[in-house]
């Protein structure tokens, strides 16, 4: 907390700081001017935010000493608006709503123009859901219905939050409640219903298109899978045939090698001892068998 003697605000014109005394007289424009100078002229957004926070702290002290006047309410709103702009420039937009609630305590107590500014900010960064519940609570507070900006807040809520988020049933229900009757005329409510109908048709068309796209994609994938399966089947058949032929060839080659080994063994026995006549007859039989089985094979190889 600040000391009871004074509060120093950086960034005043000329002297470099602005001194706010703690006298009962509440400061009017000095904090706002200093914050705007930081924000618009010097582009020092952090200094602008700090100046707004110091000014709001000083205003809170003044509020304890005197009743909240119109001047106090306007000055607090001005400092809050500049603070929101500084937070946005610092890319700290995600904490804007929380920062505003720190200044006002409750959502229902936030002025209409600040609620409007928050809606537009979160719509711009495509974070509508952040504001949905807060704006709904604000609109259903009976004390806010008398504010001059109530209709604008309701319109922004309807057009930029409920309808784009697809809450068309809630949007139609809102038109029939006290919020819709206070915020809109009968012609405006009829136009709003037409807008909801158009949005529902767009949603239905989009849903149908998505289903057709999914069906086409599924069919295409299935046809591709069928073609791939057919190709794999053909390849497997070719491999099976090739392996079958190879296995037969391998068997024949093995048999030939075995028979050749037997012949070599036989020839060795015959050449060692040709005196046995039954061996000579066996030699003739084996020679005939050899010529019958292997003669064509070797002649074919010799031609190659």
Backbone angles phi, psi at 153, to 5 degrees: -65, -45
Q: Which residue has the higher pLDDT, 110 or 299?
A: 110
pLDDT at 197 over 70: yes
- Give the residue-averaged pLDDT of 217-222: 60
Round the average pLDDT of the chain to a whole number and report it: 75
- How confident is the model at residue 62, as a pLDDT? 73
- Give the residue-averaged pLDDT of 131-148: 94
- Give the residue-averaged pLDDT of 148-177: 94
First to last CA, the chain: 107
- H or E element in which residue 75 lies: helix 70-89
Residue in 115, 112, 171, 177 with CA at minimum distance from that of residue 140:
177
Q: Which residue has the higher pLDDT, 243 or 188?
A: 188
Q: How far apart are CA 31 and CA 1, in angstroms?
A: 17
Q: 């046809």: which residue's tokens?
A: 223
Buried b or exposed e, range 3-35, using 16+ CB within 10 angstroms: eeeebebebbeeeeebebeeeeebbeebbbbbb
**Structure token pair of residue 178:** 């006290």
Distances (CA, A) of 2 to 47, 73, 229, 294: 18, 21, 79, 115
**Structure token pair of residue 184:** 């809109």
- How confident is the model at residue 23, as a pLDDT? 40
- How confident is the model at residue 6, as a pLDDT? 31
pLDDT at 163 over 70: yes
- How confident is the model at residue 121, as a pLDDT? 95
pLDDT at 139 over 70: yes
pLDDT, tens digit, for every residue of 52-97? 999 999 888 876 555 457 788 899 999 999 999 999 999 999 999 9
Long-range contacts of residues 75-80, Cβ cutoff 8 Å, at least 24 apart: 75/26, 75/27, 75/28, 75/29, 75/31, 75/32, 76/103, 77/111, 77/113, 77/114, 78/32, 79/31, 79/32, 79/35, 79/52, 79/55, 80/52, 80/56, 80/104, 80/114
**Structure token pair of residue 80:** 């809050």
pLDDT, tens digit, for every residue of 250-298? 555 555 566 566 555 555 555 545 555 545 555 555 566 556 655 655 5
% of the chain exceeding 70 in pLDDT: 56
16-30, 112-126, 133-147, 267-281, range with the lowest pLDDT: 16-30
């Amino acid at each position: 907390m600040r000391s009871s003697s004074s509060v120093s605000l950086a960034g005043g014109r000329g002297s470099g700081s602005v001194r706010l005394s703690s006298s009962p007289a509440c400061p009017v424009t000095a904090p706002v001017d200093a914050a705007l100078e930081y924000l618009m002229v010097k582009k020092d957004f952090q200094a602008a935010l700090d100046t707004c926070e110091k000014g709001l702290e000083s205003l809170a002290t003044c509020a304890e000493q005197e009743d909240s006047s119109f001047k106090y309410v306007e000055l607090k709103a001005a400092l809050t608006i500049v603070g929101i702009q500084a937070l946005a420039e610092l890319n700290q937009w995600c904490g804007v709503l929380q920062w505003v609630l720190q200044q006002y305590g409750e959502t229902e107590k936030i002025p209409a123009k600040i609620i409007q500014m928050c809606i537009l900010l979160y719509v711009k960064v495509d974070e509508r859901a952040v504001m949905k519940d807060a704006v709904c609570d604000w609109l259903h507070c009976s004390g806010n219905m008398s504010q001059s900006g109530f209709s604008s807040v309701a319109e922004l809520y309807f057009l930029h939050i409920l309808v784009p988020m697809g809450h068309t049933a809630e949007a139609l229900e809102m038109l029939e409640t006290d919020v819709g009757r206070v915020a809109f005329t009968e012609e405006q409510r009829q136009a709003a219903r037409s807008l909801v109908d158009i949005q529902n048709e767009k949603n239905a068309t989009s849903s149908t298109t998505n289903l057709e796209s999914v069906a086409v994609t599924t069919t295409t994938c299935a046809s591709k899978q069928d073609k791939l399966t057919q190709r794999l089947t053909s390849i497997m058949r070719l491999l099976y045939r090739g392996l079958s032929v190879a296995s037969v060839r391998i068997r024949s080659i093995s048999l030939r090698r075995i028979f050749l080994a037997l012949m070599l063994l036989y020839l060795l026995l015959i050449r060692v001892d040709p005196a046995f006549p039954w061996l000579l007859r066996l030699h003739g039989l084996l020679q005939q068998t050899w010529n019958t089985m292997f003669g064509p094979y070797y002649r074919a190889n010799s031609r190659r």
